[in-house]
Amino acid sequence: MSESTTATLETATRNEATTKTQSTRLSMQQALNRALDEILSADPRTVVFGEDCGQLGGVFRITDGLQAKHGESRVFDTPLAESGILGMSVGLAMAGFHPIPEVQFDGFAYPAINQIVCQIARMNYRSRGKLPMPITLRVPSFGGIRAPEHHGESLEALFAHVPGLKVVSPSDPHDAYHLLKYAASRPDPVIFMEPKSRYWQKGDVDTSDGGTLTGARIVRPGRHLTLVAWGAMVARCMQVAELAAEDGIDVEVLDLRWLKPIDAQALATSVGKTRRAVVVHEAPLTSGLGAEVAQLITQSCFDTLKAPVERVTGFDVPYPSGDLEDEYIPNIDRILLGIQRVLEYRRG
């Protein structure tokens, strides 16, 4: 064997070993835990806190083991007072820290709306840039776990409406890892909406490559129609796309990821190609984020759309608890019906 061949084989072996080391199969819970661990290790100004986040590791164990490793001064429990948790976040940010608070369940964010809207979102603007708010608020979000009332909500439209806040929702472990690290590095407040029903989903996480972190991504390319979703609904749309393919319908699935700001260019590119769109989300229909998405699509693709943008969403009722979630959350049949309506649309 020549020296050059030997060197090539050695290089290939090293590259393969590196790839295996960088790509790890993790659940979303594990991916988020690893991201927090690395954020805490890299930045001594970072502090992680919330109800049961310290010794217990959080109700979903996202912060498991972090207090033991990084100490009680950097990972700690708080009283059961969401307004206090977010109010403390404001003070810590003003003092130069990078707070990563957790609201234990999405419905528990309501008592802290004053702090989120009137302080966190406005402080940088109010101080003319002198007091930035590098706060990453982790919010276990959406339904799908049959929890009691206020333990499953879909608040993205509420947060996205507030100037000064950025909103993001990962759909798989790889994105959860990279988007959390990216969000924590931003000087602006980010609402990080974690789909709690997907915490135990496993996937390959390439810790060396986060890809494009600032916009949407095509999860499945297609030709006939674009399904737009985020969070837990991305996986459901992938199931729908596979079923539609059995009938010869080639569906593209677009994971919006960032809900504020929305990647309008990605929407225009995808729907400009497929010429049809269905937006899927768990929140109620009226004034849901799907309306904003539909407007952006219509604005950029009006001349090429073959049908109005369809929305498949939750209903205009309070987010239900327990077994009623199955009736409320968009299911495969409802999404397929939405696709059918768009494909069969005929003008006048």
Full-model pTM: 0.92
* pLDDT value for 9: 37
Residue 238 contacts by C-beta under 8 Å, 6 or more apart in sequence?
219, 220, 253
Residue 131 near residue 166 (C-beta atoms within 8 A) = no
Identify the pLDDT of residue 348. 65
Which pLDDT score is estimated for 148?
A: 85
Q: Are 64 and 57 in contact (CB under 8 A)?
A: yes
Residue spans of the chain under pLDDT 70: 1-21, 348
Both tokens of residue 191? 């609402």
pLDDT for 4: 41
- The whole-number pLDDT of residue 12 equals 42
**Annotation marks residue 70 as catalytic:** no
Domains observed in the chain: 18-206 (3.40.50.970), 217-343 (3.40.50.920)
Q: Which of 335, 347, 343, 346 is nearest to 311 (CA)?
A: 335
Alpha carbon 348 to its chain's center: 39
Alpha helices (runs of H) in 109-172, residue ranges in sequence order? 113-114, 123-126, 156-160
Residue 94 C-alpha from the chain's centroid: 26
Q: What is the pLDDT of residue 17?
A: 40
User: Which one of the listed residues 70, 98, 151, 174 is annotated catalytic?
Assistant: 151
Task: Label residue 108 exposed, middle or buried (CB < 10 Å: 0-12, 13-18, 19+).
Answer: buried
The rounded distance, in Å, linking the Cα atoms of 268 and 140 is 30
The 8-class DSSP code of residue 101 comes to E
Question: Which pLDDT value is given to residue 323?
Answer: 83
CA distance 18 to 292: 43
